[in-house]
Amino acid sequence: MYKAYLIDLDGTAYHGTKVVKETLEFVGKLHQNNIPYLFLTNNSTKTPEMVAHHLEGFGYPVKPEQVYTSAMATAEYIHDEAPTAAVYAIGETGLLEALKAKGLTLLEKGAGADYVAIGLDREITYDKLGEACFGVRKGAKLIVTNGDKALPTENGLMPGNGSLAAVVSVSTGVEPVIIGKPHAPIMEKALELLGFPASEVAVIGDNYHTDILGGLNQGVPSIFIEGGVSTREEVEFQFHPPTHILKDLSEWDI
């Protein structure tokens, strides 16, 4: 029915350390039939090579160029606006490497930055947040890789990137540009990579508020699958429900 697919990771391709068998089989069929697909994630901590390696461990047929992260979308967003920008970044390997790959200058201090970019940093410090605030107060544009408030872990929910970035936003009074799902920048870039119009692509995910809304906001048909963040009951009664609601991808025929 669709010519290409955008596929979420945690909750859709796998649950923690357990693969979602039906999604694995579905992606195998896409691969066998040469139907384009792109794994799309709000996780900014990993490079596409790291994500692809992780997915390969579950058995997914995937190359790094079939992975698109909020870190990559953030770097492209900044580069499109200002190719020679200086950036003060809070984040892990995925964000830092994405910014470097676009030729952007990374600063050690917030003052003098054209942009402050914030991605999840599990070694966040008060000083890092302070430097971000200094930069924004001096005129740097505040960019956040994703607004996820909570991060699922095996031990429960931990603070997500949106919660950490809120410290800078609240302190400075500046609203950030948010790049990741459900916002437009990551969806627009992902569609460009696939090379198909929105109506011919489907986004697959388990989270109504990121995956499904990301599709709805950009006119991309959406396929919701159960077993992750959102429940069937929750999505069925939304004012704008997903295009398709499935138990899992064994119910979907390509």
DSSP per position, 156-206: EEEE-HHHHHHHHHHHHT-PPEE-STTSHHHHHHHHHHHTS-GGGEEEEES
- 56 or 234, which is more confident? 56
Among 8-22, 51-65, 146-160, name the one with the lowest average pLDDT.
146-160
Residue 45 DSSP class: S
pLDDT tier at 154, thresholds 50, 70, 90: low
Q: What is the mean pLDDT of residues 90-98?
A: 98
Check pLDDT > 70 for residue 13.
Answer: yes
- Which has the closest alpha carbon to 51: 62, 59, 12, 204? 62
What is the band of 106 on the pLDDT scale with cuts at 50, 70, 90? very high
pLDDT value of position 238: 86
If you average pLDDT over residues 12-17, what whole number do you get?
Answer: 88
